[in-house]
Amino acid sequence: MGNISCKVSYLDGATMELNGISFNQCVRKVHEDAEKNERNPLLITFSTGKKIYYDEEQVRNFVENNIDQLELVEATECDGIYRNTTKMKMDGGEELEEGWLWTKKGNYVFLVDQDRSVYCDYDERLFIET
């Protein structure tokens, strides 16, 4: 992948754009910014149309050369970041209040939570893109 542009979306609603850099440089700069300024990146959108969820563990593995670009993309590529707009009841009876973060991949959404592995069918009536 040659030089591209990328837009970083943060938890607080802020964005940052980086232009004329490589995929590798973009991910490293976002990681550096997050560490140095205690920022919470959520999504990196590349000018190629590719989107990756900023999974701190996966990005750290990439920056430390423990995984390569393909492995990072496979682990974090998504169609966008969403929030549930209503309370949701999980299979085990647990309820999630509205506003949780989810990544969308195809027809499914996956809860952004390191302690739980939860996914469900995407329903546009229940989720809104962040």
DSSP 93: S
Tens of pLDDT, residue by residue over 41-78, are 999 999 999 999 999 999 999 999 999 999 999 999 99
The reported pTM is 0.90
34 DSSP assignment: H
Q: What average pLDDT does this structure show over 109-118? A: 89
Position 94 scores a pLDDT of 84
- pLDDT, residue 121, reads 94
Stretch 1-9: mean pLDDT, rounded?
88
Q: Give pairs for 21-29: CB < 8 Å, separation 24+.
A: 23/69, 24/69, 27/59, 27/62, 27/63, 27/72, 28/63
Give the pLDDT band (50/70/90) at residue 93.
confident
pLDDT band of residue 114 (cuts 50, 70, 90) is confident
The closest alpha carbon to 85, from 55, 123, 40, belongs to: 123
What is the model's pLDDT at position 1?
54
Q: What tokens were used for 41?
A: 């990146």
